[in-house]
């Protein structure tokens, strides 16, 4: 936690500069937890009043997003339901990201996602054609996997809209993998775009593992 004090006129302001993760967590806590505003913050102000001059009391506690720390990438998923080929591909991808960057890892992450979709489809006894594409697998899962059914109508509408958006991402993955990854002798994606694709895949893996595991 990085806090610093500012003086505005005759009062002090305590500013907490938070990275993206801590900023989001604090925002959630402020929305659901009255303890901070009713007890913690007044106690902090009292301590500062005891230390600082009463002529310039601490009146405000603020939070600022520290953009210098950058936005963290989506973490690699630790899947509850594991398969050998998926685990091997994800481990290879992490090694490649650290050693030579996201563009070199895109093919491995794509392989892991493809294999994971096929395995959980097989586990749910979803009928597939021979050698189905990622697009076909994702569509069949959305339609037929029993654990992807959501009882709450409002939540279901939200998830359907989100998954439709991810379906468009899935449609884009095959040509990107074929034309912009190490799957073939290609000119690779730039690091930012490669990490974008990898983060999208990781996000889908996180969600599907939580719902289907």
Distance of CA 8 to the CA centre of its chain: 37
- pLDDT at residue 105 greater than cutoff 60: yes
| Total domains in the fold of the chain | 2
Residue closest to 198 by CA, chosen among 164, 173, 166: 173
Same domain, 59 and 154: no
Judging by DSSP bridges, how do beta strands 11-18 and 58-65 pair with one another?
A: parallel
Q: Is the pTM of this model over 0.85?
A: no
- pLDDT at residue 137 greater than cutoff 80: yes
Average pLDDT of the residues in 102-114: 89
Any domain includes 89: yes
Any domain includes 78: no
Domain final residue pick, 38, 69, 100: 69
Structural domain including 190 reads: 84-212
Same domain, 124 and 64: no
Q: Would you place residue 1 in the very low, low, confident or very high pLDDT band (cuts 50, 70, 90)?
A: very low
Any domain includes 59: yes
pLDDT at 191: 87
**Tens of pLDDT, residues 153-204:** 898 899 889 888 888 888 888 888 888 888 888 888 888 888 888 888 888 8
Residue closest to 116 by CA, chosen among 147, 83, 141: 83
Any domain includes 14: yes
Any domain includes 147: yes
List phi, psi (to 5°) of 64: -130, 140
Residue closest to 163 by CA, chosen among 212, 208, 111: 208
pLDDT at 5: 47
Same domain, 138 and 188: yes
**Tens of pLDDT, residues 65-78:** 665 555 556 677 77
pLDDT at 56: 64
User: How far is residue 149's CA from residue 142's CA, in Å, rounded to a whole number?
Assistant: 8
DSSP state of 12: E
Same domain, 126 and 206: yes
Same domain, 56 and 88: no
**Tens of pLDDT, residues 16-65:** 777 666 766 777 777 676 777 777 777 777 777 777 656 666 667 777 76
Same domain, 122 and 150: yes
Same domain, 8 and 91: no
User: How far is residue 172's CA from residue 132's CA, in Å, rounded to a whole number?
Assistant: 16
Same domain, 109 and 7: no
Same domain, 94 and 36: no
Structural tokens at position 186: 């290609």
Same domain, 105 and 205: yes
Q: How far is CA 180 from CA 19, 140, 199, 201, in A?
A: 32, 26, 16, 16
Q: How far is CA 8 from CA 14, 65, 66, 68, 88, in A?
A: 11, 20, 21, 24, 56
Same domain, 133 and 189: yes
- pLDDT at residue 98 greater than cutoff 70: yes
Structural tokens at position 36: 């901070």
pLDDT at 89: 84
Q: Would you place residue 3 in the very low, low, confident or very high pLDDT band (cuts 50, 70, 90)?
A: very low
Tell me the percentage of the chain whose pLDDT exceeds 70: 78
Any domain includes 137: yes
- pLDDT at residue 86 greater than cutoff 50: yes
């Amino acid at each position: 936690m990085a806090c610093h004090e500012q003086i505005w006129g005759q009062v002090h302001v305590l500013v907490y500069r938070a990275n993206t993760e801590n900023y989001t967590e604090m925002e959630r806590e402020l929305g659901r937890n009255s303890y901070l505003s009713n007890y913690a913050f007044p106690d902090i102000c009292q301590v500062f009043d005891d230390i600082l001059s009463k002529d310039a009391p601490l009146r405000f506690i603020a939070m600022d997003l520290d953009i210098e720390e950058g936005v963290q990438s989506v973490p690699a998923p630790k899947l509850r339901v594991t398969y050998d080929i998926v685990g091997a591909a994800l481990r290879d991808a992490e090694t490649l990201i650290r050693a030579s960057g996201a563009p070199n890892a895109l093919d491995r992450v794509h392989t892991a996602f493809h294999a994971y979709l096929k395995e959980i489809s097989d586990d749910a006894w979803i009928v597939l054609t021979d050698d189905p594409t990622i697009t076909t697998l994702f569509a069949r899962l959305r339609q037929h996997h029993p654990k992807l059914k959501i009882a709450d109508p409002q939540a279901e509408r939200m998830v359907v809209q989100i998954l439709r958006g991810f379906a468009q991402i899935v449609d884009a993955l095959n040509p990107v993998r074929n034309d912009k990854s190490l799957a073939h002798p290609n000119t690779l994606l730039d690091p930012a775009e490669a990490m974008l694709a990898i983060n999208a895949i990781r996000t889908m893996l996180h969600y599907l593992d939580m719902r289907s595991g």
